[in-house]
Amino acid sequence: MSCPSDRPRPARYPARLEGDFPSQVSRWLWLVKWLLILPHVVVLTLLWIAFLAVSVVGWFAILCTARYPRALFDFQVGVLRWTWRVSFYSYSALGTDRYPPFRLADVADYPAHFDVEYPERLSRGLVLVKWWLLALPHYALVVVFTSGYGNWGGLIGLLVLFAAVAMLFTGQYPVGIFSLVMGLNRWVLRVMAYAALLTDAYPPFRLDPGAGEPVADARGTGKARGTDQSTGAPYQAPQDHRG
């Protein structure tokens, strides 16, 4: 009988979300982050208006050519990436005290990252139904998780509030809460990428907690990359080399 860790898992999802564990955080800064992120809120409001418009253009492009124009695709991913950095800094994670950059592109040394693999072809048929019909079960869960993404709402907001209180009294972010918060945010952003027509891969009904995405060993068996309980640093589970 194989152990649970030996059971094969699905391949890594094309939308990837990561965030470094906050080993050093301010006890008090989270109290004013709502004010500090206001410039980002203004810019992101404009970007999301553009995001919706580009989504319409992308919908027609996929329907006619089975491709998402690369420049438009990169813009859409950039808006989601920017949103995740601000969310990670603020009340969807409180994962860093480093102020988010005003950039669509990835910032290598920033502790939060999001990316989506560019698909060479997309289904013309799926584009008609995936963003409203196929994604409905996930939308129901996302509402429970967020109830207003980026704020104190939903399960994510409740967990982050617990973490904030813990940081206030101990100066430390609870590792278990961080791991769960990351998994829930990962689920939400996967659904957002799917609904935005950036991938045809249906989001799994699976919570992948931890700082980083699950990784596969040489046999293709999924190994969860989570968070080291002693240091809070991301780790990769050792590979199983048995024949």
User: Residue 12: what pLDDT?
Assistant: 86
Q: Give CA angle at 128 (122, 129), nearest 5°.
A: 105
Average pLDDT, consecutive stretches of 10 residues, N- to C-terminus, the chain (243 residues): 45 94 93 97 98 98 98 98 98 96 98 98 97 96 81 86 94 96 97 98 96 67 43 39 32
Residues facing 19 on adjacent strands: 112
DSSP annotation of 129:
T
Residue 99 burial class via C-beta count within 10 angstroms: exposed 0-12, middle 13-18, buried 19 and up? middle
pTM of the entire structure?
0.86
Interatomic CA distance for residues 118 and 237, integer angstroms? 28
Q: What is the predicted pLDDT for the residue at 147?
A: 79
